[in-house]
Structure 1
Amino acid sequence: MSLASLPTGTGLEILPEETDARAGALSLDAPVLVHHHERYRYRRLVLRAPDIAARVLPGQFVMITPARAGESWPVLPRPMAVYEADPAAGEITIVYGVVGEGTRRLSGFRPGESLVTVGPLGRPFSLPDRTRSLLVLGRGIGTCSLTMLASQAVDRGLAVTAVASGRHPTAIVGGDAYRAHGIACHEVYDSDGSSAPERLRQLLADDRVRHGNGAGWDAVAVCGSGRLMALARELGRTTDAEVLVAVEARMACGLGYCHGCSAGERSTAAESPLICRDGPVFRLVDHRGEHSTTG
């Protein structure tokens, strides 16, 4: 979810600080355990990183440097959402798309090699205490920011509904993780029109009726699509749900030092929130300063 995707009339509100990303972050050489092609342009990377696996919270990310020892390029690391974490095994899973030179080089790392990994970073999702039901809306690789949230919500006894959107069936991310935790996942595509906002809106309305959830969800989490964010905002206004959005951005450090991921216009007098330090998870609000639940 990029800042350019924000629907007109919405803004971001910083969540209460539950963790200091810089104080809690670790830097380590994480051995590659599994690395293979999944589908479409996506790859699955499993790293042995016990200390990160034990600390990471839903919505947080790591910075991975796709350079081997002795290589001077690429200099900058890449931010990666943590798709899954297994504290018992000491492992974290990353699902990413090969879209540029950095991720292409990353795709060449094999089991037995190590990657310089820094994390966990950023502010995680924070659901309201009143939350009993959760809707997660993800598009493409943006879904990777939502999978841990959904699985841990189920473990806490919350009712979870998931939507995974993509250009076509092979572009879907997250369905496996959702189904592994018994979460009903609606997979919708551009190729058959099922991802169109009006059709998805009706699908969710029918789902609410079918499951007796006429009042809607207590919280909605979204990442990866401006259309999905607009739908989440609409649901927040009509069902009194709190809307949380995970924002994607290019980053150089991931720690708030470089100030390269400011969330606002360059012309503003005061610096706007940084995605890495103040996010990547924000509460969605309108420009009247009200939460999306009251607009």
Structure 2
Amino acid sequence: MTEVIASPCATHSQSCCGDTVTLDIAEHACEVLQNAPVNAEYRHMIVAAPAGAALAQPGQFFHLACPPGAAGTSFLRRPMSVYGADPLRRTVEFLYKVQGTGTQGLATLLPGDTLDALGPLGHGFELPENTRHVLLLARGVGLATLAPLAAHAIAQGARVTALLSARSHALVMSAERLSATGASVHIVTDEDGSSDAARVEAQLEALHAETPFDFLSTCGSNRLLLLLQRLGQAWRVAGQTAIEQHMGCGIGSCYACVRPFREHAGSDRLTFRRVCWDGPVFDLQETTSW
């Protein structure tokens, strides 16, 4: 069952990997097919979704109505990035950390239950034409946001290198999924010291020297954002980052998710944009730290 939501604009044009599609923003009643833990902190949810929802692009998100959980009721929807979307199977996937009231409620959903998902929302990643080598640099929940980009980039003929950062090897996620798509995967962790900023920078410099990157992407860590901005400037390579932000409506009406961005790369002037409507994916060099 799908109910179209009345909004300031009921459609969103989304470019991804050279193709432009117009997606309807709608409230979808999705059947939960799986909602299983992947480690001590994260769960992987798969839902059956209408065709419009399953066309979600890498970097887009859904605004989820969370059921009550042990910590109480979440009155606002929870923005959740798309971990996977398959228009043939008509499924959408989410990878989420069980942390606050909303996600604790999501963790209670069982196969056969219904998830109320508004979307797909926002603007996702846009790969330039003839992109040859994409870097994915992610930590924590950023692994969920960037994972779909790998398959899209590889389908367009690009090579993908993914550097995944986590507190421990037990919390590393998506490595097998990324490898299965054809990405080259590198793992760094806090527990062995390999995630130290200086060591990550040296590793990225070596990878770039071997096969230069021509598109950079990151999500999940302010420290990694700043590192990739510096390297992008030095290498003269463009990129994008996906931003996490608390939201109210998710469709640009309430302005609760406004944050500052540089007017353009290298500019000292700031502009203010809605993360839900203008993003959540933004130019790497225009994004300010948080």
- Work out whether the TM-score is over 0.5: yes
Q: 1:19 aligns with which of 14, 20, 40?
A: 14
- Consecutive unaligned residues in structure 2, runs of 5 or more: 1-11, 16-20, 262-269
Between the aligned partners of 2:53 and 2:158, the Cα distance in structure 1 is 23
- Equivalent position SS for 2:164: strand
**Which whole-Å deviations, capped at 9, do the CAs of 1:242-271 have from their partners, x for residues lacking one?**
121100001121111111100139xxxx98
TM-aligned CA distance change 1:286 to 1:97, over 3 Å: closer
User: Which one-letter code corresponds to 2:84 in the other structure?
Assistant: E
Larger RCO of the pair (alpha carbons < 8 Å, separation 6+)? 1
Q: TM-score w.r.t. structure 1 length?
A: 0.82
**Which whole-Å deviations, capped at 9, do the CAs of 1:151-184 have from their partners, x for residues lacking one?**
1101111011001111111222221221121211
Q: Give the CA deviation at 1:286.
A: 5.8
Identity percentage of aligned residues: 34
- Equivalent position SS for 1:273: strand
Between the aligned partners of 1:224 and 1:58, the Cα distance in structure 2 is 15
1:229 partnered with 2:225: yes
**What is the aligned residue count?**
260
The equivalent of 1:165 in structure 2 is 165
Between the aligned partners of 2:130 and 2:86, the Cα distance in structure 1 is 27
Q: Give the CA deviation at 1:73.
A: 4.0
Contact kept in structure 2, 1:22 and 1:255, CA below 8 Å: no
1:218 partnered with 2:218: no
Query: How does 1:84-233 map onto structure 2 within 5 Å?
Result: 84-209=84-209, 212-213=210-211, 216-233=212-229
The equivalent of 2:243 in structure 1 is 247
Q: Give the CA deviation at 1:96.
A: 0.1
Between the aligned partners of 1:170 and 1:53, the Cα distance in structure 2 is 32
The equivalent of 1:75 in structure 2 is 75
Query: How does 1:248-287 map onto structure 2 within 5 Å?
Result: 248-264=244-260, 272-285=272-285
Greater Cα offset, 146-155 or 124-133: 124-133
User: What root-mean-square deviation, in Å, do the aligned CA atoms of Structure 1 and Structure 2 show?
Assistant: 2.4
- Equivalent position SS for 1:117: strand
Q: Give the CA deviation at 1:24.
A: 2.2
Q: TM-score w.r.t. structure 2 length?
A: 0.83
The equivalent of 1:65 in structure 2 is 65
- Equivalent position SS for 2:150: helix
Between the aligned partners of 2:47 and 2:54, the Cα distance in structure 1 is 13
- Equivalent position SS for 1:126: coil
**Which whole-Å deviations, capped at 9, do the CAs of 1:129-155 have from their partners, x for residues lacking one?**
242110010011112111111111011
Contact kept in structure 1, 2:54 and 2:92, CA below 8 Å: no
Contact kept in structure 2, 1:66 and 1:74, CA below 8 Å: yes
Q: Give the CA deviation at 1:50.
A: 3.0
**Which whole-Å deviations, capped at 9, do the CAs of 1:28-71 have from their partners, x for residues lacking one?**
11000011111120000001013244421110000111127xxx
User: Which one-letter code corresponds to 1:226 in the other structure?
Assistant: N
**Which whole-Å deviations, capped at 9, do the CAs of 1:50-106 have from their partners, x for residues lacking one?**
3244421110000111127xxx94321111111011111100110000111111111
TM-aligned CA distance change 1:159 to 1:27, over 3 Å: same
Contact kept in structure 1, 2:55 and 2:85, CA below 8 Å: no
Contact kept in structure 1, 2:217 and 2:241, CA below 8 Å: yes
TM-aligned CA distance change 1:75 to 1:252, over 3 Å: same
- Equivalent position SS for 2:85: strand
- Equivalent position SS for 2:260: coil
Between the aligned partners of 1:109 and 1:54, the Cα distance in structure 2 is 20
Q: Give the CA deviation at 1:203.
A: 1.7
